[in-house]
């Protein structure tokens, strides 16, 4: 059997996303609007398979055909007859549920590959003897032959997502290196093109010259119809001695389905902002235009307090090894009025609270653009995973000048709150009951501060295309050096393009630090309903949760490649290092031996020193993070951040050794079962499923009732068309693993 790091355990937690009451309160028109937006999101989410690994689309198609012909209970009888044990069949169900939940065979949280926890020959017998194979023997056999080996392979390069010899990615062809990614970013910047909706494919000709294709996601391919600002850029270029060609049409048949349902949703929009937003999204996905998506995002920002909230597109860049390309994501959710009222009070206090952040006024936005901040119950979240909160859009120019929205996903948080005492690791016994009681409430506070005042704070110093600055170059002083500002963002440069591989994690660290820093404010705690001893417990558990998360983060560090696989967890480890460095016993991490005789560890936080020791340390660190971000100082920013993110075995913590303990004691991230919406006549029904691996599989089997087989064929064709770009990738091992 595989290393436990690369399997999903049979007893993995599975929870259902409960949105029944919020959906019940929608009007018939709102339900139809939500239904078509959900359909658009689910169709678009299929693109994530093509953004993850070469084999992911084939695995998805194989599983879908298998379970369409026989549901999990029927297939179980066949599997047991083929000689599988109950445990082995459950392992297969968990694997299939994991593929659906992560939209691929790599974990969305950590980017580690997971493989079936049963023998390959046994699974092969089940698949080739299944009803699906009886119905379409050649197709099922071909799918198994195409993806079976890769499904189980743990060749070193295939264990994690990554670029070049560090892992596998389908954002880039298999022979692309970090140098190719940097060159491509320079090219994109020179043409004022965003990387968000692109992939990069490289071919080397017989003379050894590199030819790069920058492919935009769009319905249209070479068709010049519907002329747009993009048409003139779809051509060949010479750039720094290399050939580049900008094309479009990536994921075209999938995006066509997205567009169809966005068009249908327009008929049920509540106002003109929603109509115009959807029209621009249609333009974006049709043409491949990020500028159109930005225009849609402007209308989305202006759509204040909708009953049905949604956002869709190529959004988060966490899984691009270079940090610039967005994974497709789409969500639809409904307002939770009680928690939203608390967030409205937080928004009302935001301008005052921003003044408490530890950087000069010149480093804050000229005007706080009051955002929407709502708590939502998710109906649909399509992509590789579901976050607890969101601050969007991610376009720096919009966030700086036009605003953003904050979203806390209440029913997702409710799933995250659930913690069993016997499964709590790395805490002192006396902390566990307090942790269980206050984890949920403290997380509400942290998410609120993280999204609104973390991601929503801070100014980027920019020189525009006309040479004008958005700050006073003569009078603004860098508080770290005492000198005038020496660096800034030029026209076309963004936070992601400039800080690239550390951008996401650095920004998450800044937002998490703002949350910890401001949760000490009594006004914030009163907004959430906490005073006196309760408020102190919320503060303590919030800080304790962060330092524990910093230790748990070690699971997502790869020693062989000396890199991190998850932006949020790297950020939390950095905060742990900052608080450890503060000294005076504020935080200690002590190796111990568990009751089972195996290595264990305990995290201790001295609550009496949070304000006297922790706050000043966090204040200094947070000020440096913001100053380096504002000024675009990549060299100093990398030195600071990568210094704290380094994982060594130096005493007293010996983090590399502690990593082994973390892997030994780790708990797998829960799988979440989402409902479907079904149109019956003119009414939309909510279809819910049991909280189990089988329930999650059934939800996906019923997700595309009209065109499931057609979609699987589309995915196979799209994957096969680009398969040449990743051939023989498994044979190349990263340094130290050959």
Binding residues for Zn(2+): 450, 455, 508
d(CA 204, CA 341): 58
Name the DSSP class of 286: H
Per-state percent for the chain, helix, strand, coil, to nearest 5: 50, 15, 35
Number of neighbours of residue 241 by Cβ within 10 angstroms: 8
Taking Cα atoms as reference points, which of 663, 574, 555 lies closest to residue 617? 574
Number of neighbours of residue 352 by Cβ within 10 angstroms: 11
d(CA 252, CA 216): 10
Taking Cα atoms as reference points, which of 63, 326, 290 lies closest to residue 194? 290
The answer to whether residues 691 and 15 touch, using CB atoms and an 8 Å cutoff, is: yes
Report the alpha-carbon angle 48-51-54, nearest 5: 115
d(CA 80, CA 455): 51
- Compute the CA torsion angle 400, 404, 408, 409 (nearest 10 deg): -130
Place of tokens 């780790």: 666
SS3 label, residue 380: strand
Encoded tokens for 459: 């100014």
Strand 210-217 relative to strand 242-250, pairing: parallel
Taking Cα atoms as reference points, which of 2, 5, 10 lies closest to residue 90? 10
d(CA 15, CA 696): 9
d(CA 664, CA 141): 37
Name the DSSP class of 677: E
d(CA 737, CA 223): 46
260 is catalytic: no
Place of tokens 């608390």: 342
> What's the full length of the chain, in residues?
738
Which segments of 171-271 does DSSP mark as H helices, in order? Answer: 178-190, 252-266
d(CA 328, CA 297): 15
* N-terminal to C-terminal alpha carbon distance within the chain: 22
Place of tokens 């997700």: 703
Residues 6 or more apart whose CB falls under 8 angstroms from that of 521 comprise 353, 356
- Burial class from Cβ neighbours inside 10 Å (0-12, 13-18, 19+) for residue 635 reads exposed
d(CA 663, CA 670): 17
Annotated binding site: 450, 455, 508
The answer to whether residues 671 and 97 touch, using CB atoms and an 8 Å cutoff, is: yes
Number of neighbours of residue 735 by Cβ within 10 angstroms: 11
Q: What is the DSSP string of 211-226?
A: EEEEEEE-S-SS---S
d(CA 586, CA 584): 6
Residue 221's beta-bridge partner residues? none
The answer to whether residues 165 and 732 touch, using CB atoms and an 8 Å cutoff, is: yes
Taking Cα atoms as reference points, which of 257, 255, 308 lies closest to residue 284? 255
The answer to whether residues 288 and 217 touch, using CB atoms and an 8 Å cutoff, is: yes
Number of neighbours of residue 87 by Cβ within 10 angstroms: 10
d(CA 500, CA 497): 5
Q: Which of 30, 166, 316, 451 is catalytic?
A: 451
The answer to whether residues 406 and 344 touch, using CB atoms and an 8 Å cutoff, is: no
Residues annotated as catalytic (active site), given as ranges:
451
């Amino acid at each position: 059997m595989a290393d436990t790091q690369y399997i999903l355990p049979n007893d993995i937690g599975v929870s259902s996303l409960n949105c029944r009451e919020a959906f019940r309160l929608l009007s018939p028109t709102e339900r139809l609007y939500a239904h078509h937006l959900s359909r658009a999101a689910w169709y678009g989410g299929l693109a994530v398979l093509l953004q993850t690994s070469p084999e992911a689309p084939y695995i998805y198609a194989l599983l879908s055909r298998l379970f369409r012909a026989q549901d999990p209970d029927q297939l179980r009888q066949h599997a047991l007859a083929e000689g599988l044990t109950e445990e082995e069949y459950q392992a297969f169900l968990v694997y299939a549920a994991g593929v659906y939940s992560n939209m691929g065979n790599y974990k969305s949280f950590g980017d580690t590959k997971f493989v079936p926890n049963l023998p390959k020959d046994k699974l092969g017998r089940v698949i080739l003897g299944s009803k699906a194979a009886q119905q379409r023997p050649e197709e099922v056999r071909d799918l198994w032959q195409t993806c079976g080996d890769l499904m189980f392979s743990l060749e070193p390069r295939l264990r994690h997502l990554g670029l070049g010899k560090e892992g596998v990615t389908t954002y880039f062809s298999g022979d692309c290196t970090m140098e190719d990614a940097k060159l491509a970013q320079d090219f994109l910047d020179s043409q004022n093109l965003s990387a968000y909706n692109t992939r990069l494919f490289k071919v080397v000709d017989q003379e050894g010259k590199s030819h790069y294709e920058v492919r935009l996601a769009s319905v249209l391919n070479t068709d010049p119809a519907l002329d747009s600002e993009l048409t003139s850029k779809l051509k060949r270029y010479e750039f720094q001695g290399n050939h580049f060609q900008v094309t479009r049409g990536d994921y075209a048949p999938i995006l066509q389905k997205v567009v169809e349902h966005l068009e249908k949703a327009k008929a049920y929009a509540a106002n003109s902002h929603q109509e115009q937003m959807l029209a621009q999204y249609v333009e974006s996905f049709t043409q491949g235009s990020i500028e159109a998506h930005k225009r849609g995002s402007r209308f989305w920002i202006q759509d204040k307090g909708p009953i049905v909230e949604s956002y869709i597109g190529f959004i988060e860049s966490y899984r691009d090894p270079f940090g610039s390309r967005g994974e497709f994501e789409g969500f639809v959710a409904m307002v939770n009025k009680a928690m939203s009222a608390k967030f409205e009070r937080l928004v009302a206090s935001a301008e005052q609270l921003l003044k408490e952040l530890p950087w000069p006024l010149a480093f804050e936005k000229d005007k706080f653009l009051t955002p929407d901040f709502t708590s939502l119950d998710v109906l649909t979240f399509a992509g590789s995973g579901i976050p607890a909160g969101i601050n969007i859009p991610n376009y720096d120019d919009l966030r700086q000048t036009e605003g953003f929205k904050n979203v806390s996903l209440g029913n997702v948080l409710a799933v995250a709150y659930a913690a069993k005492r016997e499964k709590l690791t790395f805490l002192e016994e006396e902390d566990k009951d307090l942790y269980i009681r206050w984890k949920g409430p403290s997380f509400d506070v942290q998410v609120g501060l993280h999204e609104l005042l973390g991601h929503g704070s801070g100014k980027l110093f920019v020189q525009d295309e006309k040479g004008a600055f958005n700050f006073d170059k003569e009078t603004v002083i860098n508080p770290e050096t005492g000198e005038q500002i020496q660096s800034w963002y030029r026209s076309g440069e963004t936070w992601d393009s400039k800080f690239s591989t550390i951008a996401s994690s650095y920004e998450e660290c800044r937002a998490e630090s703002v949350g910890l820093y401001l949760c000490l404010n009594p006004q914030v705690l009163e907004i959430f309903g906490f005073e006196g001893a309760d408020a102190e417990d919320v503060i303590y558990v919030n800080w304790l949760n962060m330092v524990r998360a910093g230790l748990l983060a070690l699971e997502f560090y790869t020693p062989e490649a000396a890199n991190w696989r998850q932006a949020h967890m790297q950020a939390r480890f950095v905060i742990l290092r900052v608080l450890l460095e503060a000294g005076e016993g504020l935080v200690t991490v002590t190796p111990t031996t568990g009751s089972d005789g195996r290595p264990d560890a305990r995290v201790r936080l001295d609550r009496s020193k949070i304000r006297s020791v922790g706050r000043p340390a966090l204040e200094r660190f947070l000020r440096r993070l913001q100053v380096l971000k504002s000024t675009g100082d990549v060299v100093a920013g990398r030195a600071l951040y990568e210094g704290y993110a380094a994982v060594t075995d130096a005493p007293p913590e010996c983090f590399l050794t502690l990593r082994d303990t973390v892997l030994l004691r780790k708990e797998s991230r829960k799988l979440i079962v989402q409902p479907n919406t079904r149109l019956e006549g003119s009414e939309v029904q909510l279809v819910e499923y049991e909280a189990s691996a089988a329930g999650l599989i059934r939800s996906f089997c019923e997700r595309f009732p009209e065109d499931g087989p057609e979609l699987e064929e589309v995915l196979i064709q799209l994957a096969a068309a680009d398969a040449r770009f990743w051939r023989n990738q498994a044979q190349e091992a990263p340094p130290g693993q050959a």
